[in-house]
Structure 1
Amino acid sequence: MTIQDLSISLDTVWMLLAAMLVFFMQPGFALCEAGFTRSKNTANILFKNFVDFMFGSILFWLLGFGFMFGSDGAGFIGAPHFGDISFFEHPAGLPTEGFLIFQTVFCATSATIVSGAMAERTKFSMYCIYSLFISLLIYPVSGHWTWGGGWLCNGEEGSFMMDTFGYAFHDFAGSAIVHSVGGVLAFVGAIALGPRLGKYGKDGKSRAIPGHNLLTAALGVFILWFGWFGFNPGSQLAASGEVNRVAISHVFLTTNLAAAAGGIGTMFTSWIKYGKPSFSLTLNGVLAGLVAITAGCDLVSPLGASIIGLLAGILLVFSIEFIDSKLHIDDPVGASSVHGVCGIFGTLMTGLLAVDGGTFYGGGFGFFGAQCLGVLAIDVWAAVTGVVLFFGIKKIAGLRVDKRIEEEGLDIYEHGESCFN
């Protein structure tokens, strides 16, 4: 075996190990969402997280991978290949099958984000339909613009981004591509559904609907924090050689610092604002820090990562309150804020705090401008397709369960079984 063969083998094992860690985020999301919602809907929540990965695995292999990584002439959408993945050759020589698996777990994450914001009142059959479209088309198209070599991440001379800004859009592991897409879709879906029964009084004031188990939610967040060490460092897709070893270690550090700082920012903000430190908000604050650092975890310093996480944790508190109390949009788990708002925030902060090219490091506004355009394009795509998808389903087949089903719980009426006896 040559040195090159050994390096590719090591890189392949690292990529697949990272894919396993990202896959383990699925139970993390499931437990987190279940804990933040009521016990009568727990089986429904868990089932939807399985659906995301089952549908996502088949559909992304069948068409989504081709849409995301297939060649095209304008950088908008790749060519469909109907399950034939032999068209793709990874530039570093990694096996196509392994790379497909790694990208599949990312696709499933984007779809899973939506389920929490639309929890406790969505028809299961309609959930299956919109999960299908997210995995099949919405995520792969924005992914093609970026990780698939499309127009946003084209850094070649003469490309639109280079001619306009001097930089291509940068999203290392998916603050915009995965999280803000999921967050924007969650936001649109929650609008289409309307609030849960009893969420807002006749005076318009928001009423708290506590989740049934903070222990479950906390375990879910710990699992997500753990899984993020595959999500971010794994996006290096290589572990051999000094450059990759240093890069992975750096991303591990920045990811962890941002998560810790996000939780601290939320804890103290809620303490000052509400008089007591909120545990449930702090759990989301950790996730806010993780989401925000995901775009620039490879480019920012440890101090920069801590600043991004801290600010994201502070921003989260005000975002959740604004969406709930001012906009009257009911998001049971705060997905719109955690993944949407903080995903956008982290992507933009990359343009300011990147050590090489960031505005605060003397790089001017070119990189920041590229980040602004990139996140705008990605989220406008998510918003427009989300409006067509959710309001189309609502008009044609109905998106929400009947009042009696919502009052008594989706578990029995939708699935004929309960998570708790």
Structure 2
Amino acid sequence: MLNFAPLLANDVAAMDLSVELSKNLLTTNNVWMMLSTALVFIMHLGFAGVEAGFGQAKNTVNILFKNTVTPIIGILSYACVGFYLMYPGFDVPGWFNFDSAGWNMFWFSPGSADVTAGYADGGYTYWTDFLFQAMFAATAATIVSGAIAERVKLVAYLIFTLFYVGLIYPLIGSWKWGGGALDAMGFYDFAGSTLVHSVGGWGALAGVILVGPRLGKYVNGKTIEKPGVSIPLAVIGVFLLWLGWFGFNGGSVLSADPGLVSFVLVTTSLAACAGGMGGFFAAYFAFKRLDLGMVLNGILAGLVSITAGADVINPGASILVGFIGGILVVVSAITLDKFKLDDVVGAVSVHLTCGVWGTLAVGIFSTNPDHSFITQLIGVAICGVTAFTAAFLIFFILKKTIGIRVSEEHERLGLDSHEHGIRGYTIVFDE
């Protein structure tokens, strides 16, 4: 008589080993995703440093207040509406035909959250999924803050942030990352050159147009420089953003896959370096000086440019993508000034101009033959028209109701004293 007991025992042992490996893989993936979430979160400190550093001393507290409240509003609104609007599940890929079954307010039934290896192919848990995506959502609003700094009403900005992050950003994101029409079309945006950065950039452009330039910025056809209060703070901010981008792009692999994560971090870093060089050379050619501000924005330009294709663009090509982005950010900044569009930190040039370029670059340099330049162009156009129209409408309604710009007196004296009762930089002399 044959004895199958040893074979059955081996099968059981193999199954136990498989389950244990699956648990360990989930833990490893999830730890990387949570670390990436923390890195994206620290980008808010980077944005605060850049904006406060390039801004004027009299508006420092106002700038820091906005950058503190923005992630608060962004994460809460994403928890209430955005997460479910962005990932509700489409019955069939489309624009608005969401599957209502996907709406589940997790705080009422946290036990229903899937924390097993069956969720997201073992890459991360439901909770990590929400928090990682929430950090992205809050980033889109922060982009707008820097462009319209030093003259926008705080209440108007906060209301804009609530609607833009809570509704517009996740709606556009659902078309690609939520399995909607753009995804079905073949549009590709790995970590958000368009879905995060240019969406934020279009919002910034709408705000800059409707709020208008700062007092004394454009006089008799000349652009008057308004020196930032702390260039060291701006440098710190840029390096914090660069650090955060390791989580922004590296986390977008959605697992701890060692080969792909390391590849993405290499292309991201090379593009950042090349972007800094592009900004350096372009600024020297345009202004005949070694412009640190343009080198800093060039670094960010390179990062934004590679974000759409960090996983499908080879390292050599990533250098070219970043370098072109660094040049474009200088050209864009000069062009905006010619049209008297006052952007305090260069947010439109960095995030919109280079976000568009980076997304189109996928259609040029991607190693995946399925990625098409025409498809990328169509996707950029659809997202751009939607984001700009929505942002313009929100700002326009606010302008006609509560107003979006502070008084001339408040702007001249600074927003810190009038809105916050405290200054960002105070020197006390002992008597």
TM over 0.5, yes or no? Answer: yes
Between the two proteins, the alignment pairs up a number of residues equal to 396
Map of 2:398 onto structure 1:
393
Map of 1:344 onto structure 2:
356
Map of 2:4 onto structure 1:
none
Counterpart of 2:253 in structure 1: which amino acid?
Answer: Q
Q: Unaligned regions of 5+ residues in structure 2, if any?
A: 1-18, 427-431
Partner Cα separation in structure 2 for residue 21 and residue 259 of structure 1: 17
Q: Which moved more, 1:272-281 or 1:305-314?
A: 272-281
Map of 1:222 onto structure 2:
239
Q: Does 1:91 align with 2:91?
A: no
Residue 87 of structure 1: how far off its partner (Å): 7.8
Map of 1:279 onto structure 2:
292
Map of 1:128 onto structure 2:
158
Is the 8 Å Cα contact of residues 263 and 310 (structure 1) preserved in structure 2? Answer: yes
Partner Cα separation in structure 2 for residue 379 and residue 332 of structure 1: 22
Counterpart of 2:365 in structure 1: which amino acid?
Answer: L
Map of 2:89 onto structure 1:
71
Map of 1:177 onto structure 2:
195
Counterpart of 2:271 in structure 1: which amino acid?
Answer: A
- Counterpart selection for 1:330 from 342, 345, 356: 342
Q: Unaligned regions of 5+ residues in structure 1, if any?
A: 155-160, 162-167, 358-362
Residue 258 of structure 1: how far off its partner (Å): 0.2
> Cα RMSD over matched residues?
1.5
Map of 1:10 onto structure 2:
28
1:387-413 CA distance string (max 9 Å, x none): 110111001110000111100111111
Partner Cα separation in structure 2 for residue 347 and residue 221 of structure 1: 22
Q: Does 1:267 align with 2:280?
A: yes
1:326-356 CA distance string (max 9 Å, x none): x110001110010000000000011100122
Partner Cα separation in structure 2 for residue 87 and residue 370 of structure 1: 35
Residue 118 of structure 1: how far off its partner (Å): 0.6
Residue 274 of structure 1: how far off its partner (Å): 1.5
Is the 8 Å Cα contact of residues 62 and 82 (structure 1) preserved in structure 2? Answer: no
Partner Cα separation in structure 1 for residue 142 and residue 121 of structure 2: 30
Partner Cα separation in structure 1 for residue 191 and residue 58 of structure 2: 35
Is the 8 Å Cα contact of residues 62 and 81 (structure 1) preserved in structure 2? Answer: no
Question: What secondary structure does 2:120 align onto?
Answer: coil
Map of 1:157 onto structure 2:
none
Partner Cα separation in structure 2 for residue 352 and residue 143 of structure 1: 23
Question: What secondary structure does 1:399 align onto?
Answer: coil
Counterpart of 1:347 in structure 2: which amino acid?
Answer: T
Is the 8 Å Cα contact of residues 144 and 150 (structure 1) preserved in structure 2? Answer: yes
Is the 8 Å Cα contact of residues 70 and 87 (structure 1) preserved in structure 2? Answer: no
Counterpart of 2:38 in structure 1: which amino acid?
Answer: M
Residue 119 of structure 1: how far off its partner (Å): 0.1
Partner Cα separation in structure 2 for residue 111 and residue 179 of structure 1: 10
- Counterpart selection for 1:30 from 37, 41, 48: 48
- Counterpart selection for 1:231 from 248, 268, 282: 248
TM-score, normalised relative to structure 1: 0.91
Q: Does 1:138 align with 2:168?
A: yes
Map of 1:164 onto structure 2:
none
Is the 8 Å Cα contact of residues 113 and 127 (structure 2) preserved in structure 1? Answer: no
Partner Cα separation in structure 2 for residue 71 and residue 178 of structure 1: 20
Alignment of 1:293-304 (within 5 A): 293-304=306-317
1:309-333 CA distance string (max 9 Å, x none): 00010111111000112x1100011
TM-score, normalised relative to structure 2: 0.89
Residue 215 of structure 1: how far off its partner (Å): 0.4
Structure of greater Rg: 2
Question: What secondary structure does 1:232 align onto?
Answer: helix
Q: Which moved more, 1:343-352 or 1:90-99?
A: 90-99
Counterpart of 1:321 in structure 2: which amino acid?
Answer: I
Alignment of 1:238-253 (within 5 A): 238-239=255-256, 244-253=257-266
Question: What secondary structure does 1:104 align onto?
Answer: helix
Q: Does 1:370 align with 2:375?
A: yes
Map of 2:181 onto structure 1:
151
Counterpart of 2:197 in structure 1: which amino acid?
Answer: H
1:81-134 CA distance string (max 9 Å, x none): 373375888431431111000000000100100000010001111111001011
Map of 2:416 onto structure 1:
411
Question: What secondary structure does 1:146 align onto?
Answer: coil
Is the 8 Å Cα contact of residues 33 and 128 (structure 2) preserved in structure 1? Answer: yes
Counterpart of 1:46 in structure 2: which amino acid?
Answer: L
